[in-house]
Structure 1
Amino acid sequence: MADFIPEDNRLNLKVVFYGPALSGKTTNLMQLHTLLMPERKGELMVLETRDDRTLFFDMLPIGLRGSSGLDLRLKLYTVPGQVQHDSTRKAVLSRADGIVFVADSQRNQQDSNAIAFGNLEENLEKVGLEIDTLPLVVQFNKRDMTDIIEEETLQQRWASTPWSPLQMASALHGDGVVETFRVLLNRLYAQVDAEFGLAARHDISRDIFVTQLSANEASNA
């Protein structure tokens, strides 16, 4: 649910990184903050909960400006994965425009992935969003670990879903992080362009949207 502020000609978009505890949501966001080189990038903010210092979610504002003067800002959030923080997850999901679901590739974490994905679907419904129509990318992280599910097996399991193909990543090493983000931006663009006319009214094409918001040092070299 994109937030347009007419008096400032500003469009705010919200992307949430969701998934089970310790799957690498925060690592993804920290890597994006390090790797991305957009037109503007804000500081990474950390908000800690009172009952556990390790639980927090982050916000990363980045953006670009169209030729019409439209100020487009994208804010990225993570949510705490622990079960007891469900109310926080619902609050962060509210008015989300896109989701990156970060799953854990380790064999012993597949039940946790399934529970977290079910929780995502339930919470989206509670905040008035539909998982089948919301731009969403599924990333299987921790591909650098030893006892992991093979990529071919994972791709086959998810082949009949709207979120196929899956994205593979090792967020700890920065592998697949920007690529996952670009896939999400591609899916997000179609929805935002249909509602706000990014191409027709603001001269922001899909290529500009994806390239500028996900530009990194390697692509600019």
Structure 2
Amino acid sequence: MSTAQLATEQTAAPETADVDSETALDTPDAPQSTGQGSVGVDATEGGEGGTGEPKGSQAEDPRLRSARNDAADYRTRASKAETDLTEFKNQVGKLFGFVSEEASDPKKLTTQLKSAVDDANEARIELAVFRAAGKDIDADALLDSRTFAATVSKLDVTADDFTAQVATEIAKAVEKNPKFRLAPMAEPPKPPKRSGADTGSGRGENSGQLTYAQYQALSPSERVKAVKEGRANQILGRK
């Protein structure tokens, strides 16, 4: 190789190197995954606690927290004030007799109510027994009988046929124990026949008249009947 050619090649080589260097500088670097960029994005998007809100949000506002605490405190104080007011009213009512101490106890109220209902039912049963017994049955003896009393106490006093049920139980009791049936009342003695001529008007107004003793021996219904029939006219001073 001649000296001129060697000099030409040496001169061209640095130019090629310069071109390669410029090309490398113009080419953008590939993105490097250092992990710092993604961490920054996640931290910004996730926020504190993963709520999506950045640190220092409204949830962590001291003023809001204080307001909530104050509201809870007010509710507690209001509830206590209402309880104290109710207790004060009860105490004043008891002092002046407006509120009974026994009435303020729910258990005592329940017991009193049950006792009142039982007494009312017992009274209705006794009344039904006296009505259904009539004049031929000893109602007092029936009610004194534990067996009969236990039987009729189980009846429903609100039933439509309650009276009929009582009458049925009375009939059963009398059939088992005839002593519950009263002895028939003896008929009052007939007045003696009057002797001598009738001094009346001829129509026999004074015939069959009862004496005062005979009238007293009659039952109320028989007295009414005697008055209607005119057999008590003499003792009543009627003509």
Q: Which has the higher contact order (CA 8 A, sep 6+)?
A: 1
Return the index of the structure with the highest Cα Rg.
2
TM over 0.5: no
Q: Under a length normalisation based on structure 1, what TM-score does the superposition of the two structures give?
A: 0.15
Relative to its length, the structure with more helix (as a share) is: 2
